[in-house]
Amino acid sequence: MPAVGMELTLRGVRFLELKDKAGGYSIGRYGESFLPKPLEDETFPSSEALKTLLAEVKQKYNFGFVEAALPEEKAYIFSTEVPQLSPEEIHASLELQLEEHVPVPPGEAVFDYQIINTDEATKKYLVSVSVLPHLIVSRYLDFFTSVGLQPISFQLSAQAVTNSVVSFGNDAPLILVNMGERQTGLYLVSHRTVHFTSTVAVGGEAFTEAIKKYFSVSEAEAEKIKTERGILKKKEESELFFSLANTLSVLKDEVEKLVSYWQTHLERYSNVRQKITRVVLCGSESGLQGLPEYLEANLSMPVELGNVWRNVFSFDSYIPPISRKDSLAYATATGLLLRRHD
């Protein structure tokens, strides 16, 4: 069943399809479509405007099956140990543990798990468990089926991004910063598995608004300044940089909190005491000039832009039709499709 990876946002919809190709994959149908006015949280995703937009996208691109993203801010994630049993027995064992870890009754929860590593001494698996209220999942399912789309699977956006930008076999701990228009997701990852997430209300719109106020310009002009000049801390750009200093500081502080959290909870997630090795940026607003340099200087660790195609194809054999900067917005949609091939 050919499916597209699909992410719904407050601004609209973004999707991407991967096609089998000798030695990897190529990009099939892809695109993004936006609403005239962003939605508010309380109307998401049940908005009639978003439903109409998605129906138009479905008709234009002619697809019927989707692998869909669910918001990690609605989920609970915890790690625990389970005996080395069959998948069905592990699932049953975890269901009995849910009430110990999350405030959602087992009968009202939908959950999945990933094996992080194996402790041969105790014959146990360390697993990461993601839990969502059944009501949330049902809301998304009803939304997609109402426009004639059939979800094959749901996955947390945070794990989808991890599938996309963290190389197969890379078990080192890192922090992913997924920057969108209104908010930024920060994910603690090791063994290509998300252990902890947080969300900060800082995104591209906050940068635009700060520029708009500081320079007393229109929103369109502020967006242009942000896109063309970025936040490079150069002498001739010092005024622009300082207009964004407070917003940047909030983001930097949140990353530092996650680094500190990891350092004080190592025994919970791994029997190998590894420190955070790097920060990886992705998301529709992460291509801001100077952002990696700013964070690297203030966090004293390597910061890089993610490669969304890392696990999809080699540039030696295929050049995608999406630019590097634009591809950062497709990390979630791409990662949704990679779980089946991990």
* Distant-in-sequence, close-in-space partners of 214: CB < 8 Å, separation ≥ 6: 239, 243
What is residue 22's DSSP assignment? Answer: T
Give the model confidence (pLDDT) of 135-148 as tens digits.
999 999 999 999 99
pLDDT confidence of residue 211? 86
User: What is the per-residue burial (b if ≥16 Cβ within 10 Å, else e) of 217-242?
Assistant: eeeeebbebbeebbbeeeeeeeebbe
Strand 24-34 vs strand 65-70: parallel, antiparallel, or unpaired? unpaired
Q: Residue 133 in contact with residue 143, Cβ under 8 Å?
A: no
Assign 122 a pLDDT band (cuts: 50, 70, 90): confident
* Helix/strand/coil for 44: coil
Contacts of range 209-212, beta carbons closer than 8 Å, 24 or more positions apart: 210/243, 210/244, 210/246, 210/247, 211/240, 211/243, 211/244
Across the chain, mean pLDDT equals 89
The answer on pLDDT for 26 being more than 90 is yes
Q: Which residues pair with 66 in a beta bridge?
A: 4, 151
Q: Percent of the chain beyond pLDDT 90?
A: 63
Segment 292-301 shows an average pLDDT of 91
Could you say which DSSP state residue 11 is in? S
- Span 4-32, average pLDDT: 92
What's the pLDDT at 32?
A: 96
Q: How far is CA 239 from CA 105, 205, 216, 244, 289, in A?
A: 52, 19, 13, 9, 15
Which residue is associated with the tokens 């625990």? 80
**Residue 117: pLDDT band with limits 50, 70, 90:** confident
Contact (CB, 8 A) for 290 and 244: no
pLDDT of amino acid 58: 96
Q: Where are the beta strands (DSSP E) in 71-183?
A: 76-83, 109-119, 124-133, 150-156, 174-179
Per residue, the 3-state secondary structure of 261-325, as one string, reads HHHHCHHHHCCCCCCCCCEEEECCCCCCCCHHHHHHHHHCCCEEECCCCCCCCCCCCCCCCCCHH
Q: Mind listing the pLDDT tens digit for each residue in 304-327?
A: 999 999 999 989 889 999 999 999
Selection from 51, 192, 188 nearest residue 117 by Cα: 192
Q: How far apart are CA 165 and CA 176, in angstroms?
A: 9
pLDDT tens per residue across span 191-244? 899 989 999 998 888 888 888 888 889 999 988 888 888 776 555 556 777 778
Look at residue 342 and tell me whether its pLDDT is greater than 50: no
Q: pTM value?
A: 0.91
271 pLDDT tier (thresholds 50, 70, 90)? low
pLDDT tens-digit readout, 155-191: 999 999 999 999 988 889 999 999 999 899 999 998 8
* CA angle 123–125–130, rounded 5-degree value: 160
Dihedral sign of CA atoms 216, 218, 221, 223 in order: positive
Would you list the DSSP string of 191-246?
TTEEEEEEEES-SHHHHHHHHHHHHT--HHHHHHHHHHHTT---GGGHHHHHHSHH
Provide the total of helices (H) and of strands (E) in the chain, helices listed first.
Answer: 12, 13
Q: Could you give all domains of the chain from N- to C-terminal order, each with its CATH number?
A: 170-305 (3.30.420.40)
| Residue matched to tokens 């801010």 | 73
Output the CA torsion sign for 194, 168, 32, 68. Answer: negative
Average pLDDT of span 263-281: 77
Residue type present at position 141 = L
pLDDT digits (tens, 9 = 90+) for 38-63: 888 767 888 899 999 999 999 999 99
pLDDT of residue 31: 96
